Structure 1
C-alpha cells in the first residue's frame, strides 16, 4: 500500500460574485468555487481530476501550491498543514510543490532567453554558481526533449509543444515531489499531446514523482491516471481507480461524461447530451450539486446533499440513487 503524500480535508475557496438587489445596499453574494472537497494523493501515483470548465479543478490545484489560499479546510502535505503556514514557512516548500500551467508562455519573460529564465529559477532556490546552473539547465532541457540550441532562444521562437516542455522543465528543476499539471496538453495537437503525456509518464517513473493531472478531457485522464476524481460544481461526486471508473461508473454525471466520448458506430441522433447549464454555487446553495441536471433527481436531492461515501471497496460516490 502506498504512503499518502497529500491529503485535502473539507477544502473551501470562496470568491465575491455580485451584489443582488439595487444600488450599493444590495446583498453581497459569494461563489463557492470549491466547497468541502476532500481527497488524497499517494506517493508515486498520478491522480486525475476531471470535470467540465468552471467546476473548480484549477482552483483546487492553485490552492495546493499556495497560489490561491483556501478560506477554510486543510491541505496536509507529509503531515504539515499548508493552510496554517506563514509565507516564510511556505517558501521552503515551494521547490517540492510545483505547477505546470495550461498556457506556459504567459509565465515566461519575453525579454529573456530560455537559459536565463531557467537559471533564474535555480538562482532563487539557492544555486549560486553560474556554471553549475547552466549545467543543470542543459541536463533538464535534454530530459524534456529539448536541445542546447533552445538554451539561447527566446520564448516566442518556440512551438506550443516546446513551450509546454519548457514549462515542465522549469517545474522539475527544483526536484519536486508533487507536480500539479493544469490542463498542460489541452491546447496542443493530438500527436503532440501523446508525446507530452508519454514524457510525463517516463519522468514520473525516473524521478519518483507524484502528479495531479487536471483536465476536462476524459480520454487524456484515462491514459495517464492511476486514480480519477470526478468533480462537479466545486465538489467530488465520484472517485476510484481508472479501470473501475470506466468499467463500472456509479454517478449519473460520470456516466454522462463517458457517454460524451465520440463513438463512430453511434449515429448522431443517439448521442447522450447533458441538458441545462452548470448553476452557480453560492453560499446558500442546498442539495446535490447535480440535481438540476440529473434525470434521476428526487425531492431529497434538492434539499440535502448526499454524503460522499465508499460504496464499494476503493470506490466512492455521492448520490442517493446508486443502489437503485
Structure 2
C-alpha cells in the first residue's frame, strides 16, 4: 500500500431530532450521527466500514464528497482540508473524489439515454470535444462490463446489476483517485453481488484506485477490504487488517456481529445475548457508545469514553476491557 491518500480526524456531524421545551423558538436537541471519527485510507487500498443501519456510515461517506458538511473535525485529502472548502473551492477536487450511491437508479434521469448521462459528467468537467466524450464513455462502459450497445439505452431498461455497473461507470468516467461505495450491492442477488464486487476489484487493480466500501454485510466487507473499521453509534469501536479482525475480534460489538453470521469460516465465540434498544446519542451521552447494551459493561463504561488505542500490531480497539493491556 502507498501513502495516506485521505485522513479523517475527529469528524463530528449532528442532526436535530426534537424541540426542547424552551418555547416556540427553543433550540433543538442534537443527535450525534458521527462523533470523533478518525481513520485513514491509503493509496490503492480498500477500507471497509461496517456496522448496523443507522450507525453513521452513509453520513460519513457523504461528508467526504462534500454532500454534507461536518460540524467539526478535518478531512485531509493529500494534506488539504476539504471540510474548510466552499463549493467553488471543492469543485476541482470532485474529479478525484466520487461516490457510488446505494440506489443508483434514483440518481439517474429516466428520460435521458445512458450515453448522454455520462457525457454530461464530462461536459461539466471541461471535456468539450464530442468525439472524445463518446470515446471515453464507451471505454468506461466496457471497463465495468457493459458495452457500446448500452450507450443508447435508458436506465430503466437495465437489470439491477447493470444499474450498479452504470453507477460505477458514472464515478469512473472522470478518472477519480478515490471512490466511496455506499452499499452498492445490498439490493442485488448473491451471484450478481459477486460479479459487481469482482468488477470493482479488477478496476481497482488496473487503475490503482482507493476505495471506501460501506456496508452492513460482513461477508461482502470481508471479501473486498484490506482493512476494516467497525462502527457503532457514529464512532469506530475497532479497526484492523481484514485477516486479523476475523481471526481475533476484540470488541464485544464486533464479536456480536460475527456471532450473528452463519459462516463457519468466521472466528466466533459464545457471546452473551445483549438486549435493549440502541440509544439516541446526544451531547449529554456519557461513557462508551455500546455500554447500554454490552453484556460485559462495568461501572467505568457508563462514566468514561474508552480511548481508541492499539492493542496489538495494527489492531485498535475502544474498550475498557483491554485497559490492563496498556
Q: 2 CA distance for matches of 1:271 and 1:76?
A: 38
* Equivalent in the alignment of 1:84: 84
For the 8 Å contact 1:226–1:242, the answer to whether it is kept is: yes
The alignment status of 1:178 with 2:178, answered yes or no, reads yes
* Equivalent in the alignment of 1:230: 230
* Equivalent in the alignment of 1:135: 135
* Equivalent in the alignment of 2:198: 198
* Equivalent in the alignment of 1:210: 210
For the 8 Å contact 1:240–1:316, the answer to whether it is kept is: yes
Q: 1 CA distance for matches of 2:27 and 2:175?
A: 47
Give RMSD over aligned pairs: 1.7
* Equivalent in the alignment of 1:101: 101
Q: 2 CA distance for matches of 1:94 and 1:263?
A: 39
Number of residue pairs the alignment of both structures matches: 320
* Equivalent in the alignment of 2:66: 66
Per-residue deviation, 1:89: 1.4
- Under a length normalisation based on structure 2, what TM-score does the superposition of the two structures give? 0.95
Q: 1 CA distance for matches of 2:27 and 2:3?
A: 46
* Equivalent in the alignment of 1:259: 259
Give CA deviations for 1:208-243 in whole Å, capped at 9, x if unaligned: 000000000011000000000000000000000000
* Equivalent in the alignment of 1:283: 283
Secondary structure (helix, strand or coil) at the match of 1:201 reads helix
The alignment status of 1:145 with 2:123, answered yes or no, reads no
Per-residue deviation, 1:299: 0.8
* Equivalent in the alignment of 1:20: 20
The alignment status of 1:48 with 2:9, answered yes or no, reads no
* Equivalent in the alignment of 1:162: 162
* Equivalent in the alignment of 1:125: 125
For the 8 Å contact 2:307–2:319, the answer to whether it is kept is: yes
* Equivalent in the alignment of 1:295: 295
Moved over 4 A (4+): 270-274
Give CA deviations for 1:236-273 in whole Å, capped at 9, x if unaligned: 000000000000011000000110111589xxxx9975
* Equivalent in the alignment of 1:320: 320
For the 8 Å contact 2:95–2:174, the answer to whether it is kept is: yes
For the 8 Å contact 2:226–2:241, the answer to whether it is kept is: yes
For the 8 Å contact 2:274–2:295, the answer to whether it is kept is: no
Q: 1 CA distance for matches of 2:95 and 2:25?
A: 45
Q: 1 CA distance for matches of 2:104 and 2:273?
A: 32
